[in-house]
Amino acid sequence: MAKPKIVNEWIKLADEDYGFACSNLSDPDAIYFGFICFHFQQSAEKYFKAYIVAKSLEFTKIHDLDSLCQICLADNPKFDELKDECLFLNDFYVATRYPVTVPPSFSRVEAQQAKTAVEKISKLVKTFLVDPKNSDISKAAGIIIVDRKLLVEKDFDKEFYIAPGGKLDPGETPKQALVRELKEEFLIDVSENDLEEFGSFSAPSSGQEHRTIHMYCFIVKKCWGEISLGHKVEKLLWLTSQIPDGIKVGSIFEHEVIPRLKAQNLID
């Protein structure tokens, strides 16, 4: 069995391809469905390779999903359930990247079908590979700025102030997770179209250094409703770049996000 860190990296890359494709697919004005389908194919390829690496199976530098599935099938008969998904996704590797005799035309329908296919592959692979106690943690965080101050919150029984947001549920994109969390935590409504990507950051999880937190941060450009405390939130603070003594802020925001916000002249 390979080291969990390596396997988690493959899964993280697969999740990122999936998240990128989903984010673009959610855009009502999206037109580049071929590229969206390509990233769904790439996501599936990496999920298969995560399983192959984890089980120390024969690793070959190929992109054919059916062949990768066959390698996994030799170890686990459940992969026989993924044949149709592999055949459907396979065409998106070549047809979306290189000129062909008859140029294909991809629509939102094919992209949505590709999304569904990848989700089935992801679910099966993660069922056998992902140990919740050892896997990396993916989170979405919202950057809410009012009067050049940043909103942070502290949950009950927690020591650190963190940004609004939380963990991604299975199958969620970072934007989808953030929209859900902002509704649950602060009773506000946000559209995915009003979330502007600020950056992705990684750091060891506090107290669980063998796990890595991957945080996808978005500037919340607009929201509806008054910010209120949800059932988990104990306190709110509005911070400048000068964090008061005695206030503990999560590592990624303290060392990465807040300095960058200051450098971009978004907060005092």
pLDDT tens for 164-200 read: 999 888 777 889 999 999 998 888 999 999 999 898 8
Domains and CATH numbers, the chain: 4-129 (1.20.120.330), 137-263 (3.90.79.10)
Nearest to 21 by CA among 84, 110, 81, 82: 110
pLDDT tens for 108-139 read: 999 999 999 999 999 899 888 866 566 678 89
Return the half-sphere exposure (C-beta side, CA atoms, 13 A cut-off) of residue 187: 9
**pLDDT of 58 higher than 60:** yes
Q: How many C-beta neighbours within 10 Å does residue 83 have?
A: 14
Whole-Å CA distances, 215 to 18, 26, 130, 168: 16, 20, 19, 10
Helix (H, G, I), strand (E, B) or coil at 130: coil
Nearest to 213 by CA among 151, 163, 263: 163
**pLDDT for position 231:** 75
